[in-house]
Amino acid sequence: MSAFDVQRVREDFPLLRQEVRGRPLVYLDSAATAQKPQAVIDAIVRFYEHDNANVHRGVHVLSERATEAYEGARETVREFINARDAREIVFVRGTTEAINLVAQTYGRKNVGPGDEVLITHMEHHANIVPWRMLCEQTGATLRVIPVDDRGELVLDAVDALLTEKTRILAVTHVSNALGTVNPVKELTRKAHAKGIPVLVDGAQSVTHFPVDVQDLGCDFYAFSGHKMFGPTGIGVLYGRLERLESMPPYQGGGDMILSVTMEKITYNRVPHRFEAGTPNLEGAVGLAAAIRYLRGLGMGAIAEHDRALMAYGTQVLESVPGLRLVGTAREKAGVLSFVLEDIHPHDVGTILDREGICIRTGHHCAQPVMQHFKVPATARASLALYNTREDVDALVRGLHKVREVFG
Q: What is the DSSP letter of 182?
A: P
Please tell me the distance from the alpha carbon of residue 368 to that of residue 362, in angstroms, as a whole number: 13
Is there a contact between 307 and 299 (Cβ–Cβ < 8 Å)? no
Question: Considering only residues 12, 29, 152, 201, which one is a binding residue for ligand PMP as defined by CB under 6 A?
Answer: 201
Q: Which is nearer to ligand PMP, 120 or 127 (CB)?
A: 127
Is there a contact between 287 and 73 (Cβ–Cβ < 8 Å)? yes
If binding means CB under 6 A, how many residues of this protein chain bind ligand PMP? Answer: 13
Question: Considering only residues 90, 147, 203, 290, which one is a binding residue for ligand PMP as defined by CB under 6 A?
Answer: 203
Residue closest to 76 by CA, chosen among 374, 323, 283, 246: 283
Q: Which is nearer to ligand PMP, 35 or 96 (CB)?
A: 96
β-pairing, 166-172 vs 141-145, is: unpaired
Question: Considering only residues 124, 143, 208, 272, which one is a binding residue for ligand PMP as defined by CB under 6 A?
Answer: 124
Residue 22, judged by CB atoms within 10 A of its CB (0-12, 13-18, 19+), counts as exposed
Q: Which is nearer to ligand PMP, 329 or 399 (CB)?
A: 329
Report in angstroms how near the CB of residue 193 gets to ligand PMP at its nearest.
26
Report in angstroms how near the CB of residue 99 gets to ligand PMP at its nearest.
7
Q: Which is nearer to ligand PMP, 176 or 337 (CB)?
A: 176
Question: Considering only residues 172, 182, 207, 280, which one is a binding residue for ligand PMP as defined by CB under 6 A?
Answer: 172
Report in angstroms how near the CB of residue 179 gets to ligand PMP at its nearest.
11
Q: In the range 349-378, which residues lie near ligand PMP by CB under 6 A?
A: 365
> Would you count residue 35 as binding ligand PMP (CB under 6 A)?
no
Question: Considering only residues 34, 117, 126, 211, which one is a binding residue for ligand PMP as defined by CB under 6 A?
Answer: 126
Q: Which stretch binds ligand PMP (CB under 6 A): 34-42, 124-132, 211-219, 293-301?
A: 124-132
Angle at 121 between CA 115 and CA 122, to 5 degrees: 130
User: Residue 315 carries which side chain, given as an amino acid letter?
Assistant: Q
403 backbone dihedrals φ, ψ, rounded to 5°: -65, -40
What does 92-150 look like in DSSP terms, one character per residue? ESSHHHHHHHHIIIIIHHH--TT-EEEEETT--GGGTHHHHHHHHHHT-EEEEE-B-TT
Q: In the range 92-121, which residues lie near ligand PMP by CB under 6 A?
A: 94-96
Catalytic annotation present for 218: no
Say which of 135, 218, 358, 365 is annotated catalytic.
365
Residue closest to 204 by CA, chosen among 325, 380, 8, 326: 380
> Would you count residue 180 as binding ligand PMP (CB under 6 A)?
no
Q: Which stretch binds ligand PMP (CB under 6 A): 48-56, 90-98, 146-154, 236-244?
A: 90-98
Report in angstroms how near the CB of residue 181 gets to ligand PMP at its nearest.
12
Q: Which is nearer to ligand PMP, 120 or 224 (CB)?
A: 224
Q: How far, rounded to the nearest angstrom, does the alpha carbon of residue 344 sit from its chain's CA centroid?
A: 27
> Would you count residue 204 as binding ligand PMP (CB under 6 A)?
yes
Q: Helices (DSSP H) in 263-405: which residue ranges?
A: 281-297, 299-318, 345-354, 367-372, 389-405
Q: Which is nearer to ligand PMP, 4 or 131 (CB)?
A: 131
Question: Considering only residues 67, 138, 176, 268, which one is a binding residue for ligand PMP as defined by CB under 6 A?
Answer: 176
Q: Which stretch binds ligand PMP (CB under 6 A): 58-66, 91-99, 178-186, 252-260?
A: 91-99
Report in angstroms how near the CB of residue 309 gets to ligand PMP at its nearest.
19
Q: Which is nearer to ligand PMP, 76 or 176 (CB)?
A: 176
What's the 3-state SS for 244-283?
A: HHCCCCCCCCCCCEEEECCCCEEECCCCHHHCCCCCCHHH
User: Residue 14 carries which side chain, given as an amino acid letter?
Assistant: P
Residue closest to 357 by CA, chosen among 81, 29, 113, 6: 29
Q: Which is nearer to ligand PMP, 190 or 227 (CB)?
A: 227
DSSP, collapsed to helix, strand or coil, labels residue 187 as helix
Residues that bind ligand PMP (CB under 6 A): 94-96, 124, 126-127, 172, 176, 201, 203-204, 224, 365
What is the set of active-site residues?
365
